Amino acid sequence: MKKMKVKVPVLGVVVMALVAVLAIGLTVNANISLKQMIANVAGTIVGNDISQQLNVEGDESFGGVVNDPCTTTNGNSVCIVKGTFIDASTTIVSITNPFLMSTTSASDVVIKGAWPNAWTGASSTVDILRLNVTGVATSSFTVSCGAAATAYSTASIALVSSGTVGTSTKAYIENNVTAAQGASTDGGTVAKIAIGPLYPYLVCKVTVTGAGLGTSEGSFTEVTNTFDGTFVARISKNQ
């Protein structure tokens, strides 16, 4: 992450403007206190000009510094969800749609509450799902991710369908990024998917393609497994 760089000619601009304005303002409106006038003038100048005086460079992964995982700009709401893989499970990622709405049908998947006074996932789009395998597995495997009806079920709408990751191999996998485009293994060719009331979860599962720790899935399910990693997902609420 790059550090914030700040140019500071703002203070000088504020001081000069205050000197110029106060003499006029005090004679024009005697009902406004000196403290109020200083605050009004400073606020206007800083509010209008601060963007031109600051040179800010932050985390550019998603276009700027993000302190809150969810932001709204011009009515466009986006959540950047980060985390580590679930340990000792073949379900390594399980994300609940961060955008909720009231259920409108008995067929909606309930996330919170009970029908008919319940909450489900609002219609949203996932366009980035990035997986970084940082702790290697003792078996080769593939990863599949997508929209699911429950937190641990197999995806019904595919987003990531990876190629095989070899035994004891670290990997970078992302939807719509192939090995030819620089990924460690193919992540499939799906650019984005929708998640909503019927499929409000984003789930990733591993499938073993070689034996490990004496069982077909022991490389991931045994408490002594060495498999680990992180994920990043970008989810935006559909308007």
User: Which residue, chain included where needed, has tokens 């040179």?
Assistant: 55
Task: Give 144's contacts (C-beta < 8 A, 6+ positions apart).
Answer: 154, 155, 158, 160, 161, 162, 204, 205, 207
**Mean pLDDT score of the chain:** 79
Q: Where are the beta strands (DSSP E) in the chain?
A: 5-6, 54-55, 70-73, 76-84, 91-96, 100-102, 112-114, 117-121, 124-135, 141-148, 157-161, 171-174, 193-195, 201-208, 228-237
What CATH number is attached to the domain comprising 127? 2.60.120
Residue 204 CA to residue 97 CA, distance in Å, equals 14
pLDDT tens digits along 163-177: 999 999 999 999 999
pLDDT at 96 > cutoff 90: yes
**pLDDT greater than 80 at residue 58:** no
Q: Does a structural domain hold residue 220? A: yes
Whether residues 39 and 123 fall in one domain: no
Same domain, 28 and 130: no
- Residue 29 in this model has a pLDDT that exceeds 80: no
Flag whether 173 is in a domain: yes
Same domain as 85, residue 41: no
Q: Is the pLDDT of residue 34 over 80?
A: no
Q: Give me the percent of the chain exceeding a pLDDT of 70.
A: 69
